[in-house]
Amino acid sequence: MAIRPIVRFPDPRLRRKAEPVAIFGDALHALAQDLAETMRAAPGIGITAPHIGVLERLVVIQLDSDPAPHVYVNPQIIWASPEMLRHVEGSVSMPGVTEELERHARVRVRYSDLSGVEHEEEAEGLMAVCHQHEIDQLDGIFWIDRLSKLKRDRLIKKFDKLHRLGA
C-alpha cells in the first residue's frame, strides 16, 4: 500500500473520461488499496483513480460511519430520484475550497467488486451525493463544472489565492 500524489486542479487529466476496468486481478486490488490510503491521508471521503492520474473507472468511498472503505469498479448510476438535496462538496484535487451543490437525494448504482462480480446498491443522502460526485469525476466532469459561472470563477480565485499563499 502507498499514498500516491494527488492530481491537482487545473490538471487537464481531471477533465478526461476514465476507461472501464477490464482486468480484475492483483494490480486492481493494489490500486484500490492505494486509493483508500491516499483518500484517508488527503483527507477525504471519496476518491477516484483519475484523482491519482490513473484513468480507470475505480472509486473508493468511506464515510465517517463506515468501518471500511467501499470499492466500486465501473460504477454507473442506473436510477436517480426526482427529489433533490443540497450539500457542500469539495475535492481532494482542490483542497481548501467547498461550495454547495444540488444533487439527487437517492440513486441506484450498478458496479462490479474487485473480483468482477456485478452488484447494485441504492444510496441516499451523503452516500448518494458521493456516488454522483465520483461518477461525474470518472466521466471527466469536475465538481465545479456543476456550479454557476459566477460561483465557479469565485471558487477558482479563492483556490488560486490559497495555493499562492501555500495553504
Provide the H-helix boundaries in the chain.
Answer: 26-41, 125-138, 149-164
Q: Which residues are catalytic?
A: 134
Tally of CA atoms within 13 A in the half-sphere of 140 that contains its CB: 8
Q: Could you state, in order of their start, the residue ranges of all structural domains in the chain?
A: 12-164
Measured CA to CA, the distance from residue 73 to residue 58 in angstroms comes to 5
pLDDT digits (tens, 9 = 90+) for 54-97: 999 999 999 999 999 999 999 999 999 999 999 999 999 999 99
- The pTM for the full model equals 0.96
Per residue in 29-38, pLDDT tens? 999 999 999 9
Q: What is the pLDDT of residues 115-163, one digit of tens each?
A: 999 999 999 999 999 999 999 999 999 999 999 999 999 999 999 999 8
Q: Is CATH 3.40.50.740 the classification given to domain 12-164?
A: no
Q: Which residues contact 29 (CB under 8 A, 6 or more apart)?
A: 114
| pLDDT over 60 (residue 167) | no
Q: In 3D, which of 47, 20, 25 has the Cα closest to residue 36? A: 47
